[in-house]
Amino acid sequence: MSPSVSSSRIAVIGGGPAGLAAAEVLAAAGLGVDLFDAMPSLGRKFLMAGRGGLNLTHNELLDAFLARYGSRQGELAPLVRAFDPRALRDWAAGLGVETFVGSSGRVFPREMKAAPLLRAWVHRLRESGVVTHARHRWLGWDDTGRLRFATPAGEQHHTAPAAILALGGGSWARLGSDAAWVPVLQDRGVSIAPLKPSNCGFDIAWSPFFRDKFAGQPVKNVVASCLAADGTALRRRGEFVISEHGVEGSLVYALSTPLRDRLERDGSATLTLDLLPDHSAERVLADVSHPRGARSLSSHLQSRVGIAGVKAALLREVLSKEAMLDPGRLAHAIKALPLTLRATRPMDEAISTAGGVSFDAMDGNFMLKRLPGVFCAGEMLDWEAPTGGYLLTACIASGRATAQGLLRWQGAPGSAEDAR
């Protein structure tokens, strides 16, 4: 018979930002908390996200910040307003982590690292009585409603008066977000929107020469544009990276949602690049039309308009030889170079995922209507956001809001029943 533990302590399942935030609120309210995670240590994806400098949140005006949540702004706005970017920065300061606003408006820890914040956070949770259980992979429930966990010592069962699921999305499975919870909840009748890659790269059919020579190189200072599913033109300025399979990086991620939706609807999508956003179309046409004499086209482009390296190679990759020699067609391509996208990269490579537990499947306390006493938080809910601090802010705000919902529910008749 597998080991079984019965406890009056709340079970929080998932040791990412949403789960940690939920545990923090519950412990502050005086409740006992058992925090379970499948990995050997907590916050694995959080640490990976901070590898290049942890982007905690963003400093823009709150209304603009909330608009980043798109079609889920209505559901997420109350959560984020209750724990907004200023509150998040104050919270980090309370952990001894000072923050600063970068030139892009993104907010980072002074040390540009995730590990110090995570260590301080986990230490404070343990000091408040939260008990952590690593290498406990949640499997669902047994026939009596007990929580099932796969552990190095074999399957274990745990009984708790309520449980918060904060199990992440479906990207970066090796760090714990493997979406194994989807069929478990679907079998219990919970409505779940299909998971999709978000903040992801895309496949392009590069020629072998271009792929071998330029994969890994950044394309800087460009404006990328595309059409949303409703026909709205979207434009973003920044940089991206040529990958072996296509394109990736911050500028691509910023447009990944409309590009993905176009691919789903039409089977293909076009990402259009302005390679010289600070030059007017008239100026570019005049410059490329200027007689080049004995100079090669490459030298001409570099000297007249500053196009060289990977940008010049992109032009040659897309245009025919005849088009490259036609000043009008060449100038047009410099200002509007179309890249045909064939597919999104696999979901496990994406920074985050869209889809998840439907908001309609939960009540106002974020409790599953089909499973009284079971609450959901974080990226496993059906929402998405661009990079830039919006993901992390909403995950932490969601964890806190769900814990507060559980506290409200505990005062209701029947709230002492086991979570099942």
* Phi, then psi, of 275 in degrees rounded to 5: -75, -15
Place of tokens 């040659």: 316
Q: At what angle do helices 281-289 and 297-305 cross, to 10 degrees?
A: 140
Tell me how crowded residue 239 is: count the other CB atoms within 10 A of its CB: 14
Rounded to an integer, the average pLDDT of 283-300 is 90
Percent of residues, the chain, with pLDDT higher than 70: 96
Q: What is the mean pLDDT of the chain?
A: 94
Q: What's the pLDDT score for residue 52? A: 73
Distance CA(276)–CA(95), nearest Å, equals 44
Distance CA(155)–CA(276), nearest Å, equals 59
Rounded to whole angstroms, what are the CA distances from 328 to 277, 283, 315, 323?
A: 17, 12, 14, 8
* Phi, then psi, of 217 in degrees rounded to 5: -90, 140
Q: What's the pLDDT score for residue 232? A: 87
pLDDT in tens, 244-275: 999 999 999 999 999 999 999 999 899 999 99
Which residues are CB-contacts of 7 (< 8 A; sequence separation ≥ 6)? 32, 34, 158, 159, 160
What is the dihedral sign for C-alpha 14, 17, 21, 22? negative
Q: Which helix (H) or strand (E) holds 132?
A: strand 131-133
Q: What's the pLDDT score for residue 119? A: 97
Q: What's the pLDDT score for residue 138? A: 98
Distance CA(330)–CA(324), nearest Å, equals 5
pLDDT in tens, 360-409: 999 999 999 999 999 999 999 999 999 999 999 999 999 999 999 999 99
pLDDT band at 414 (very low <50, low <70, confident <90, very high): very low
Q: At what angle do helices 390-410 and 85-94 cross, to 10 degrees?
A: 80
Q: What's the pLDDT score for residue 246? A: 98
pLDDT in tens, 193-213: 999 999 999 999 999 999 999
Q: Which residues pair with 106 in a beta bridge?
A: 58
Percent of residues, the chain, with pLDDT higher than 90: 88
Place of tokens 């449980």: 163
* Phi, then psi, of 280 in degrees rounded to 5: -70, 160
Give the residue with greater pLDDT, 2 vs 213. 213
Rounded to an integer, the average pLDDT of 75-79 is 98
Q: What's the pLDDT score for residue 103? A: 87
pLDDT in tens, 214-235: 999 999 999 999 998 778 899 9
State if pTM tops 0.85: yes
